[in-house]
Copies of this chain bind each other. A is one copy, B any other.
Amino acid sequence: MSSAPLDLFRPSSTLDSDSLSKKITLLGTINSVKAILQLEKSHFNFSNEIPITTVHQIAHNDVYYWGTTLLEQDLDTNPAAKFNLIYPASEAHIAKYQKHPVHMVVETPEAYEKVVKPYIETQKGDRLQWVRNILYHGVEKERVVFKNDDYILLPDMKWDGTTIESLYLVCIVFRDDISSIRDLTEDDIPYLKRIKESILVEVPKKYGIARDQLRLYVHYQPSFYHFHIHVVNASYGGLGQTQAAGKAILLGEVIETLRLLGKKGYKGKSIEYGLSEGHDLWSGMKEYAN
């Protein structure tokens, strides 16, 4: 295989830098051609011997000591970091990895009708062909975890499929008349409760996790406009903003809110959420910023 010419990478700017996950994404060039280099520190991996080589104590107060250390590292069993290189990198790659500020917007029923609903219409059709492929044409059928008349359940693409600590499944419903929670009303409560109960029964059967250790939620805005439910290990905190208030809404909370909203359903509610400047809706929703 051809080798990543990492030694020729010349950084020009930082696309993203995340101090929580210790990950940095750099834009640069290799032989004057654009490239993106992502570096992420590795997690600790040792059994008995702690791989500390040198200690520098910064301070000490009562029973508390803190400072910095150097660590053993070797490429096979204990690398310091992993890298991802995209070379050559297209403008689309760069746009994808560029971090955009998030703005809080309040989507009133009017904003939904005027800005969001027309946008959603442009996201149907061919854009959802991959969903129909899964639902009706058996694509990815070897990945399906469970299927009944209401929905198909499969592992999220971000999950490795085995680590229960970070379990992440997606439930895609067969009904195609629900683009988002905006299309739900109190009439859908029995339907949603049936799906919720089924997920809480089927996932524990397959993965041996307790039903009350599953966190079920939907996104608004979702990343695609065919109703789906995220199913994750309730103890897992590694999903960042995709799980945050202002993006995720518990399925149980959706059902409770539908009780209050009555016949009009979510179409009658103002919904506040975080919207990235990189999202297609930002230009239209700007005037509804918090």
Q: Mark A204-227, 1 if CB is under 8 A from B, else 0.
A: 000000111111010000000000
A212 → chain B closest CB, angstroms: 4
A8 → chain B closest CB, angstroms: 11
B-side contacts of A93, CB under 8 Å = 63
Asked if A83 meets B66 with Cβ closer than 8 Å, knowing A42-B22, A50-B9, A166-B19, the reply is yes
Bound CA span A251–B266, Å: 18
A213 & B50 in contact (Cβ 8 Å cutoff): no
A272 & B253 in contact (Cβ 8 Å cutoff): yes
Cβ-neighbour of A249 out of B42, B88, B245 (below 8 A): B245
B-side contacts of A148, CB under 8 Å = none
B-side contacts of A88, CB under 8 Å = 63
B-side contacts of A83, CB under 8 Å = 52, 55, 65-69
Q: Mark A1-32, 1 if CB is under 8 A from B, else 0.
A: 11110110101000001111110101000000
Bound CA span A290–B289, Å: 35
Asked if A105 meets B212 with Cβ closer than 8 Å, knowing A9-B50, A70-B79, the reply is yes
B-side contacts of A42, CB under 8 Å = 22, 41, 68
A272 & B252 in contact (Cβ 8 Å cutoff): yes
Bound CA span A87–B21, Å: 27
Bound CA span A235–B52, Å: 34
The reply on A269 being an interface residue by CB < 8 A is yes
The reply on A73 being an interface residue by CB < 8 A is yes
B80 & A64 in contact (Cβ 8 Å cutoff): no
Bound CA span A80–B53, Å: 10
Q: Chain A interface residue count: which class?
A: 35 or more
B-side contacts of A4, CB under 8 Å = 55, 57, 60, 65, 67
The reply on A94 being an interface residue by CB < 8 A is no
- List A240-267 residues whose CB lies under 8 Å from chain B: 240-241, 243-250, 252-253, 256-257, 260-261
The reply on A182 being an interface residue by CB < 8 A is no
Stretch at the interface among A96-104, A130-138, A139-147: A96-104
A214 & B245 in contact (Cβ 8 Å cutoff): no
Bound CA span A279–B289, Å: 37
Asked if A17 meets B1 with Cβ closer than 8 Å, knowing A63-B87, A81-B71, A270-B256, the reply is no
Bound CA span A55–B105, Å: 44
A286 → chain B closest CB, angstroms: 9
Asked if A256 meets B237 with Cβ closer than 8 Å, knowing A2-B60, A290-B211, the reply is no
The reply on A116 being an interface residue by CB < 8 A is no
Knowing that A6-B69, A245-B250, A245-B253 touch, tell me 11 more A-B residue pairs with CB under 8 angstroms: A9-B50, A26-B50, A41-B42, A68-B81, A80-B80, A99-B235, A102-B213, A104-B252, A234-B246, A240-B240, A246-B250
